Amino acid sequence: MSDFIAAEDREILERHGLADFDALWALKLEAVDEPNTERGGWSSVYRLDLGEAAYYLKRQSNHLTRSLLRPLGEPTFAREFRNIQRYSGLGIPALQAAFFAERKLPGERRAVLLTRALDGWKELDQWLPDWAQLEPAQRSAILRACGELARHLHAAGQVHGCFYPKHIFLRVAGDGFEAQLIDLEKTRPLLLGERDRIKDLEPLVRRANMWSEADVQQLLAAYLGAAGDVGRWSQRLGARRRNKEAR
């Protein structure tokens, strides 16, 4: 895969001398969290502010994922970048890539992924602790935005694979909210119809455990549309949730 740089980000990155792999790899920044070392290598995330633009810079070394198509492995960021591009092509609201590149060195595989910061957006996880104090209209608007995002995702034939509150970002838009997704590494095609859809939605409902049954039904009404059987889907989601919690 050749180096990628988004047309709308090229000028600012070039102006700051950051339009290539080596410059971004060598940049001295403080990580926003602890490095991920689960796969034998490491992967870290950094905030990068360039005046009028802000980004998140991800760097990794020997942090690989394997698949039938790539049995020897590839950087997890390579897979995430492909999924970001796929979502963009399908019109699914999600984070945007500004730069991606990888390098093979003796005994090491490195990758860099730069994404635009979602300043002005707030993850669903940050809305949930004060859920009971929100106005009913605000709660309904958030549920509708999340349901419509899931509908858009599945209608495009994709399963997110980590449809958690921390991966759904929301922003006020007029009288409602707009929503988009992050963390696309585990995305895959939707192959098993309703089974895949239930499997994708259930973690959201289980983790947003302050939502009432009425809240879940509002979410499903937005997801299914006027012709959907909200009651049946609610029962199926509830059954899967109870099964997961019992394990």
* 156-193 pLDDT, tens digit each: 999 999 999 999 999 999 999 999 999 999 999 999 99
By the 10 Å C-beta count (0-12 exposed, 13-18 middle, 19+ buried), 147 is classed as buried
54: confidence class by pLDDT, cuts 50, 70, 90: very high
- The strand ranges marked E within 87-175 are 97-105, 108-116, 122-123, 158-159, 168-173
Question: End-to-end CA distance of the chain, in Å?
Answer: 41
pTM summary value: 0.93
CA 100 to chain centroid: 17
What domains are there in the chain, each with its CATH number? 4-116 (3.30.200), 122-246 (1.10.510.10)
